[in-house]
A and B are shown apart, each in its own frame.
Chain A
Amino acid sequence: MFKATVIIKRRPKILDPEGKAVEQGAKLLGFNNVKQTRIGKYIEFFVDTTDKKLAENEVREYCEKLLSNPIMENFDYTLEEVK
């Protein structure tokens, strides 16, 4: 079995109104050094197989077809074998 962790990030050119609003909060708190806050998604799940290559393919396809929208997002993932 593998544990997958996926991070979905907005592409650099895509506006992030949420990130902008959160950063306004940072300024109110006095975090004046905080710049370019961008909000993404963190997703974790298990892939029930012993075949790492198969697990990797499945994670990638899941990311491409459903978890991310390639027009506005990029994804990174890690796979870790668990017992």
Chain B
Amino acid sequence: MKPKFGVVVFPGSNCDHDAYYSLKKVLGYEAEFLWHKEKDLKASNVIILPGGFSYGDYLRTGAIARFSPIMDSVYKFAENGGVVIGICNGFQILLEIGLLPGVMIKNESLKFVCKDVYLNIENKENIFTKSIKQNILKIPVAHGDGNYFTDEETLKELEDNNQILFRYVSSVGKVNSESNPNGSFMNIAGIMNKKKNVMGLMPHPERCCNPLLGDIDGSLIFRSVAQHFLN
């Protein structure tokens, strides 16, 4: 079965069109926008919470978007095993609503960081990375609040359950502070929930899917998810 991707649009989302374009026009999957005031997920198999500055990032990133009507449906969908991917601001929304543990604070440098980073795939026993052959991906980040933080107890849980999906590394896979663009705890770039159907990541895979733009490592994540439905 070919999966259908539902891309949620919040006021202030600005990567919604990139995600839609990459999924539909570049990768050839079915995709549809979902307005945040609606509740209907329109029979989507995968929900994308895109990057941007929902509600202007007021109060805290993602803090207000999590109360948008569509998030009730997304929450129930995720609780029932539905696949949800939160990219950048979408990741922040997943943290605020509690589908993923932890918080995002301001980048250690206080600067908005926009550049390519290398990610080590920490775990391939999940639908997001299962069909990816390589271990390191090159994907851009673009954020001011990507400094992942959680307490030691939650970190232990994340590690014990293999929930850490991506870490910032050097081009040869070394975990060090030079490769960490934002001061993120343990170089964490992306995590999953316990059931491994909800994933959040700060880098933007939708920005590197089209070979015309150079890198295509982002497409590998979407292809892996699609493969899960095609099998």
Contacts and interface: CB of A to CB of B under 8 A. Distances in A.
Given A21-B110, A71-B150, A15 B105 contact: yes
A17 B96 contact: no
A14 B59 contact: no
Contacts of B151: 13, 71
8 contacts: A15-B105, A15-B108, A17-B108, A66-B63, A66-B64, A71-B149, A71-B151, A72-B105
Interface in B81-132: 96, 102-103, 105-110
B contacts with A: majority SS: loop
A72 B63 contact: no
Interface bracket on A: 10 to 19
B102 to A, nearest CB: 7
Nearest to A41: B59
B223 interface: no
Interface of B: 59-60, 63-64, 67, 96, 102-103, 105-110, 147, 149-151, 183
Interface string A55-78: 000000000001101011000000
Nearest to A15: B105
A71 B103 contact: yes
A14 B105 contact: yes
Interface of A: 13-15, 17-18, 21, 41, 66-67, 69, 71-72
B183 to A, nearest CB: 8
A69 B95 CA distance: 10
B108 to A, nearest CB: 6
Nearest to A39: B106
Given A15-B105, A66-B67, A72 B149 contact: yes
Nearest to B101: A71
B110 A72 contact: no
